[in-house]
């Protein structure tokens, strides 16, 4: 963001957030209720649930579209949520040193979030770009869920396994998980920051009674992922890498298949990234959408060829031949390269596939 962009929006959340944090510490020291401070989280999360774009470091073009209560939702709400999450990441002692240094060096003068980031990294000795890129420079939100929990008798004790999954749109964070056992004892572990699914194992003398995410409620986190809007699907597909999308491609497909999307390019990319992940049935379904749209002949040609590839790999040779023959009806004489596999789709390729089944090629470097 350019330096001439309004300071009050891009940076005031740091000052205000630190003020709210200090007030929270004062409240905690006197054993007073934290309802007011939880309310800041709720303001922010209410904006997230309404699908507001809460990017803090927003470019001017986006800022013009953010027509809601920015002061309460972003500056106060998300600002405090960011600092509370940062305290959990770096530790309370580190964060208190950061707050004191900010007061000493920037008391009475402006401090940008980049200035704040530099202080945080100097005090902790860590590169915190991953944190600020997600919380400050994106519209992502925090959403983790406990997907399974088991507690089984093993020798003289119990072995407990708790599985926690990160939502597709969630910020990647280490999340605290508390296991409460029937004898009143407790244990706490933390999820892997970068893992989509974390499996946490506990050993105890008693059976698991309850598993709690974010037990201290110091992270502003949704308990359920937001429902996807049809208008968001093309952007999600565009962000998927052509190779290596893995389970993310499958999740986007499952979100997409119930919506009416008329852009064949969206379905083509989704079909190909699903193929890359060996999700052949889902790839078939996505590619069929292109043919059903009855759009450009060239795209229908390519879609039918890849449908044939999927059928061949599923062992459905007769269905594959039918796809290849149908593809020839849409042939315009053009070609389409797929460099990740080192192949070129054209009439000659299809005629060869009629003679010999498709075999999955190795990816090209």
More confident position, 40 or 89: 89
HSE-up (13 A, CA, CB side) for residue 282: 22
Among the residue ranges 162-166, 185-189, 257-261, the one predicted with the least confidence is 257-261
Q: What pLDDT score does 4 carry?
A: 37
Short-list 13, 179, 21, CA closest to 90: 21
Q: Which CATH superfamily is domain 230-355 in?
A: Tetratricopeptide repeat domain (1.25.40.10)
pLDDT score recorded for residue 35: 65
Measured CA to CA in angstroms, residue 199 lies from 151, 175, 213 at distances of 13, 12, 13
3-state secondary structure of 238: helix
Q: What is the pLDDT of residue 127?
A: 97
Q: Which of 25-39, 45-59, 160-174 has the lowest mean pLDDT?
A: 25-39
Hey, do 7-135 and 230-355 end up sharing a CATH topology, with the first three levels equal?
A: no
**Residues belonging to the chain:** 365
> What is the predicted pLDDT for the residue at 30?
67
List the domain boundaries for the chain: 7-135, 144-213, 230-355
Q: How many CB atoms lie within 10 A of CB 62?
A: 12
* Residues 320-326, mean pLDDT to the nearest whole number: 97
pLDDT of residue 318: 97
Please check the confidence at residue 350 and state whether its pLDDT lies above 70: yes
| pTM recorded for the entire structure | 0.73
Using an 8 Å Cβ cutoff, are 357 and 317 in contact? Answer: yes
User: What mean pLDDT do residues 252-280 have?
Assistant: 91
Task: Provide the mean pLDDT of the chain.
Answer: 89
Q: Which CATH number fits domain 7-135: 1.20.120, 1.20.59, 1.10.390, 3.30.230?
A: 1.10.390
Residue 148: CB atoms within 10 Å: 12
Question: Which range has the worst mean pLDDT, 15-19, 214-218, 314-318?
Answer: 15-19
Mean pLDDT of 250-257: 86
What is d(CA 306, CA 321) in angstroms, rounded to the nearest whole number?
Answer: 12
- Residue 46's pLDDT is 95
Which segment of 4-13, 228-237, 338-347 scores lowest on mean pLDDT? 4-13
């Amino acid at each position: 963001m350019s330096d001439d962009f309004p300071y009050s929006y891009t940076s005031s959340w740091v000052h205000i957030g630190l003020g709210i944090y200090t007030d929270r510490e004062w409240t905690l020291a006197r054993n007073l209720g934290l309802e007011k401070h939880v309310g800041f989280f709720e303001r922010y999360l209410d904006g997230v649930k309404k699908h507001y774009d809460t990017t803090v470091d927003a470019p001017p073009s986006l800022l013009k579209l953010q027509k809601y209560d920015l002061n309460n939702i972003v500056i106060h709400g998300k600002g405090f949520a960011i600092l509370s999450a940062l305290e959990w990441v770096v530790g309370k002692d580190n964060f208190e040193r950061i707050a004191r240094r900010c007061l000493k060096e920037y008391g009475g003068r402006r401090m940008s979030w980049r200035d704040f980031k530099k202080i945080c990294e100097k005090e902790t000795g860590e590169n915190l770009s991953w944190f600020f890129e997600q919380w400050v420079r994106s519209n992502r939100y925090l959403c983790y869920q406990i997907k399974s929990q088991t507690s089984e008798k093993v020798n003289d004790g119990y072995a407990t396994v708790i599985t926690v999954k990160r939502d597709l749109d969630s910020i990647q964070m280490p999340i605290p998980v508390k296991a409460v056992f029937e004898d009143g004892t407790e244990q706490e572990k933390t999820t892997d920051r970068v893992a989509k699914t974390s499996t946490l194992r506990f050993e105890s003398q008693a059976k698991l009674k309850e598993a709690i995410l974010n037990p201290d409620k110091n992270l502003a986190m949704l308990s359920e992922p937001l429902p996807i809007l049809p208008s968001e699907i093309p952007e999600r597909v565009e962000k998927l890498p052509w190779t290596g999308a893995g389970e993310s491609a499958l999740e986007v497909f499952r979100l997409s298949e119930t919506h009416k999307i008329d852009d064949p390019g969206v379905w083509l990319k989704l079909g190909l990234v699903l193929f890359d992940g060996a999700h052949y049935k889902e790839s078939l379904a996505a590619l069929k959408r292109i043919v059903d749209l009855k759009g450009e002949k060239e795209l229908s040609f390519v879609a039918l060829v890849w449908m044939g590839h999927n059928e061949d790999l599923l062992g459905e040779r007769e269905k594959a031949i039918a796809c290849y023959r149908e593809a020839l009806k849409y042939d315009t004489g053009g070609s389409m390269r797929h460099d990740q596999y080192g192949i070129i789709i054209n009439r000659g390729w299809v005629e060869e596939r009629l003679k010999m089944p498709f075999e999955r090629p190795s990816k090209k470097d």
